[in-house]
Structure 1
Amino acid sequence: MAWRSSGATNAELVENLWRNKLITQPLVKSAFLKVDRAHYAPSMAYEDSPQPIGHHATISAPHMHAHAVETLLPFLLPNPDNGHQSTADSAASVIGQAGRPRRVLDIGSGSGYLTHVLAELAGETGVVVGLEHIPALRDLGERNVGKSAEGRALLASGRVRFRVGDGRKGWEEPSPGDAQPGVGGAAAPDVAREHERKDEAGGWDAIHVGAAAAVLHEDLVRQLRCPGRMFIPVAAESSSEQYIWTVDKDEHGGVKKKKLFGVRYVPLTDAPK
């Protein structure tokens, strides 16, 4: 089904993903329409296939990005102060503590494409951090986001940030309101700060991992907020196969893991020397 989703333009690509039910939520469709993949893919930008971006890394196929976003969606959308679901979010339940700004970690951010899409969904108070283990890829993601006016605004506001680090260990980022005045503190700041203190190093509502982990790294599970969700490809122990797993942490800290489907990703490893 995936190869049938390619298009001649960004709008046609997204429409085909929608028609083939690879995108099913209107909010996800809207976010993908706002981010032109041509700013991120060095060639064949609107093909529904992975593309090399250098340093043994790729930009994933659009249908895989769509799977990831739809899986994480309830943990990406802003949760209003009153705890009620917004009318714009009639198709997806919002999970999380009301009034607390969203924090999203994109491990293996590569081209920066998915980092930008995630930021479109996390709202004006959210922060999305793209994490790379290769400085040149960190710079590539930031440079690509800066190709559009919308992306430049996200970078200038601090809503999108790119960092260099070992994705297997996760990442600790200052809470939005403390690190970037005016970002992440608009909604119920006192309540939000209290929640930040309860989550180790701020934690993450959603973690996306764009490379295959050898194991399900406990540092990443620990850094999930309560509640929170991770989307991660993990190599099978007894074969060369890889599978997408979701890891959910509930409001009490209980962890539930679920294997979804087979995939083929580049490995989550040390930076090449």
Structure 2
Amino acid sequence: MLDNLRKNELIKSDRVYEAMRKVDRGHFAPYSPYRDAPQSIGHGVTISAPHMHANAAQALEQHLQPGMSALDVGSGSGYLLAVFAHMVQPEGKVVGIEYIPELVEKSKDNLRKDPTHAEMLKDGRIMIIGGDGSLGWPEGAPYDAIHVGAAAPRMPTHLIDQLRPGTGKMFIPVGQYEQAIWEVTKDADGTVHKSKMYDVRYVPLHMQPEN
């Protein structure tokens, strides 16, 4: 699967290829794990197609350097947490936040299927938190990379606030009936830049109304 994605230039980065090669998608997707299409993981949500995970990892590659930190919002099965964790080693840290309690526990079980990921989970290099992903996880902020795996109806200001000035970048689908990937970066002085990239279709992100 990965070799085909690379051959068709859907994976362009050697670092992304190597990180994805170290993570067996079969541990995270119960049905057709090696097909390049979204697959159900239960509870009305899906694991994204492999090429979308590759797109996200490539978009965030410079913000997933060794020693950096990342937040995965709507971490679902835990697959992308493992990919990101390989990219930020040694000493980097990734945090997943998931709204569905059953998926929080299931993703931990999925990670424990591989001894390397189990050790990362045990020593805190991978953390999974239950909660509202649109609020992020301030305790671990600031983050060099934020990935959002579900479509937010509007741009979540809490997540922008948690980007690290100077190195922070977010990859996020935004929209309800029409959705698009946006890349959000933050300069060292705190200036925020938002760029619309391409149209997509994701499951909706649970997001509380703003006051």
TM-score by length of 1: 0.74
Alignment partner, residue 59 of structure 2: 71
Question: Retained in 2: the 8 A contact 1:133–1:270?
Answer: no
- Secondary structure of 1:68's counterpart equals helix
Alignment partner, residue 171 of structure 2: 231
Question: Retained in 2: the 8 A contact 1:124–1:159?
Answer: no
Hey, what's the Cα distance between the residues in 2 that align with 1:126 and 1:42? 29
Q: Which runs of 5 or more structure 1 residues have no equivalent in the other structure?
A: 1-12, 79-100, 175-201
Alignment partner, residue 81 of structure 2: 115
The CA RMSD measured in Å over matched residues stands at 1.2
1:211 to 133, 137, 150: 150
Alignment partner, residue 169 of structure 1: 135
Counting only pairs closer than 5 Å after superposition, residues 94-133 of structure 1 correspond to structure 2 as 101-133=67-99
User: Shift of the alpha carbon at 1:269?
Assistant: 1.3
Larger Rg belongs to: 1
- Secondary structure of 1:173's counterpart equals helix
Question: Retained in 1: the 8 A contact 2:28–2:110?
Answer: yes
Question: Retained in 1: the 8 A contact 2:163–2:186?
Answer: yes
Alignment partner, residue 193 of structure 2: 256
Where has structure 1 moved over 4 Å in runs of 4 or more?
none
Hey, what's the Cα distance between the residues in 2 that align with 1:258 and 1:225? 18
TM-score by length of 2: 0.95
Hey, what's the Cα distance between the residues in 2 that align with 1:254 and 1:136? 38
Hey, what's the Cα distance between the residues in 1 that align with 2:131 and 2:152? 15
Alignment partner, residue 43 of structure 1: 31
User: Shift of the alpha carbon at 1:172?
Assistant: 2.0
- Secondary structure of 1:117's counterpart equals helix
How many residues were matched structurally?
207
2:181 to 244, 255, 264: 244
Hey, what's the Cα distance between the residues in 2 that align with 1:44 and 1:211? 21
Q: Which runs of 5 or more structure 2 residues have no equivalent in the other structure?
A: none
